[in-house]
Amino acid sequence: MHKRLGLNVGGRRFDVDVEGVFASFLEQQMSKDFNIEGNNDVKILLQAYVRKNHELFLQEQKVKEILNKLEK
């Protein structure tokens, strides 16, 4: 499944083409983080970026914790 997702940031439109199951996942996540129908301030974009990186950090910490338990 091919899908084009778009987002307005700072008055400019940005589109991205995605495929497969990731397309649906990304669409859901974008609708949580951004105003899909209207404009988004650059500050909103930065906040979403920091939030997603924090989630990634926590996931990596959890993976390391699990790996350490498995190595013992």
The whole-number pLDDT of residue 72 equals: 82
- CA-based R_g, the chain, Å: 16
| Extents of the domains making up the chain | 2-71
Q: What integer is the mean pLDDT of 11-30?
A: 96
pTM of the model: 0.80
Which tens digit of pLDDT belongs to each residue from 46-67?
Answer: 999 999 999 999 999 999 999 9
Three-class HEC string of 7-40: EEECCEEEEEEEEHHHHHHHHHHHHHHCCCCCEE
The whole-number pLDDT of residue 26 equals: 96
The whole-number pLDDT of residue 10 equals: 95
User: Of 72 and 57, which is predicted with more confidence?
Assistant: 57
Query: Mean pLDDT over all residues of the chain?
Result: 96
Count of other CB atoms within 10 angstroms of residue 40: 19
